[in-house]
Amino acid sequence: MDIVPLYIEGINSKRPLVFAGPCSAENEEQVLATARRLAAIGIQVYRAGVWKPRTKPGGFEGMGIEGLRWLKMVKEETGMLTATEVANARHTEEALKWGVDILWLGARTTANPFAVQEIAESLTGVDIPVLVKNPVNPDLDLWIGAMERLVSCGITRIAAVHRGFSSYEKGLFRNQPQWHIPIELKRRMPELTILCDPSHIGGRPELIYPLSQQAMDLGFDGLMVESHSNPSEALSDKEQQITPETLGRILSLLVIRSTPDTSEFLSEMRREIDEIDDRILNLLSKRMSVAREIGKYKMANNIPVLQPVRYDRMVTNRLAQALGLELDGEFIKLMLEAIHEESVKQQFEIFNKGEKGEHS
């Protein structure tokens, strides 16, 4: 894919690149008051939704074109660039007509290839940066697929926005961060600019700072944060918006560590890690070959593959051992489950082959 690091003319490329503004453009006064206060803390790109995808009908669905007019006023008065969410070709046309500088695809749109294709085609021949939020479901290929659709219509100024993934169980986060997914995205597309949206991941103000710091420490390029002139009165996502001044304080607290190319210490430690990984892989290979031997024995002696009592004892013993080794119990449990699942799979393969053999 032909993707270059996001370049936006007139924007300071220093990390973090910050997009900030209200969840929704609600009225002229709120849009402009928020914009003035964000400009005062040095924000260069103003975000606001004018078409809002709502979970249930009857909520505030955005101000549409009226909102685009206020965004134009923001640009004229403060000099900030503006960004809004588009979910279909009509939105795109209107946003371009009103001079919006940057577009973004929301999480629900990224999950819908028909909508993404329609938007991509409506942007053919237009040179505009487009941000692609991750789909609501944790599917990296769907996320990359949406970017590919844009690229194939000639859009190369693309950035990904990690906004977390929805889940049925509600825990600490509004949307689960599942950091390994954006990390894998970065591994597959090292040139891609990736922003983090701590507002939609955390769903509450007190999580914005720790999530932003974590994103910076993971090498993200920037942040998209929801900021409202009067959060408690917001018409959408009221629980997660912060004032421009709070955002200013959070940004000033962030420690931005630069990625060192390498150092003698890091090279030495990485060599050690590579050696350990090598040993882990060899041990896993050995473990699977023992599992297959056991499978053959079980097959020959008519013993079922799964031995729940043995499995339970194995997990209990290993967890106790893990505690003594200062290993996280949850992590070890996940690892043991994955190893056990693979062993069982390998044994089933032996059973299936054996059965086929009998009939052939």
Range 70-129, binding ligand PEP (CB under 6 A): 106-107
Is 61 or 148 the residue whose CB approaches ligand PEP more closely? 61
Sequence-separated (6 or more) residues with CB below 8 Å from residue 150: 116, 119, 120, 123, 130, 132, 158
CB of 278 to Mn ion, least distance (A): 45
Binding flags for ligand PEP, 190-229, as an x/- string (CB under 6 A)? ----------x-----------------------------
Question: Do the Cβ atoms of 147 and 157 come closer than 8 Å?
Answer: no
The residue count for binding Mn ion (CB under 5 A) is 2
- Binding status of residue 197 toward Mn ion by CB under 5 A: no
Other CB atoms closer than 10 Å to residue 61's CB: what's the count?
Answer: 16
Exposure class string for 206-225: b at 16+ Cβ within 10 A, else e: ebbbebbbbbbeeebbbbbb
DSSP helix/strand/coil, 344: helix
CB of 198 to Mn ion, least distance (A): 12
Question: Do the Cβ atoms of 129 and 158 come closer than 8 Å?
Answer: yes
CB of 353 to ligand PEP, least distance (A): 47
CB of 132 to ligand PEP, least distance (A): 10
Give the CA distances from residue 125 to residues 4, 96, 97, 151, 154, in Å, rounded to whole numbers and listed in that order. Answer: 17, 12, 15, 11, 7
Is 23 or 45 the residue whose CB approaches ligand PEP more closely? 23
Which residue sits closest to ligand PEP, CB atoms considered? Answer: 106
Is 174 or 186 the residue whose CB approaches Mn ion more closely? 174
Is 136 or 144 the residue whose CB approaches ligand PEP more closely? 136
Query: Residue 157 touches which of Mn ion, ligand PEP, none (CB < 5 to 8 A by kind)?
Result: none
Binding flags for ligand PEP, 147-166, as an x/- string (CB under 6 A)? ----------------x---
Of the candidates 18, 23, 50, 107, which one interacts with Mn ion according to CB under 5 A?
A: 23
- Binding status of residue 83 toward Mn ion by CB under 5 A: no
Closest C-alpha to 221, from 182, 277, 177, 275: 182
- Binding status of residue 85 toward Mn ion by CB under 5 A: no
Strands (E) located in the chain = 17-21, 45-47, 81-85, 102-105, 130-133, 158-162, 193-196, 222-226
- Binding status of residue 146 toward ligand PEP by CB under 6 A: no
Is 23 or 250 the residue whose CB approaches Mn ion more closely? 23
CB of 174 to Mn ion, least distance (A): 10
Is 160 or 192 the residue whose CB approaches ligand PEP more closely? 160
Range 25-64, binding ligand PEP (CB under 6 A): 49, 53
- Phi first, then psi, for residue 223 (nearest 5°) are -135, 145
- For residues 21 and 252, what is the distance between their CA atoms, to the nearest angstrom? 17
Range 126-145, binding ligand PEP (CB under 6 A): 133
Query: Residue 207 touches which of ligand PEP, Mn ion, none (CB < 5 to 8 A by kind)?
Result: none
Binding flags for Mn ion, 155-174, as an x/- string (CB under 5 A)? --------------------
How would you class 332 by CB atoms within 10 Å of its CB: exposed for 0-12, middle for 13-18, buried for 19 or more? middle
- Binding status of residue 237 toward Mn ion by CB under 5 A: yes
DSSP helix/strand/coil, 104: strand
Enter the tokens of residue 115. Answer: 């909508």
Question: Do the Cβ atoms of 80 and 43 come closer than 8 Å?
Answer: yes
Distance, C-alpha 315 to centroid of its chain: 32
Range 298-337, binding ligand PEP (CB under 6 A): none
Closest C-alpha to 100, from 73, 68, 52: 68
Q: Which residues bind Mn ion (CB under 5 A)?
A: 23, 237
Q: Which residues bind ligand PEP (CB under 6 A)?
A: 23, 49, 53, 106-107, 133, 163, 200
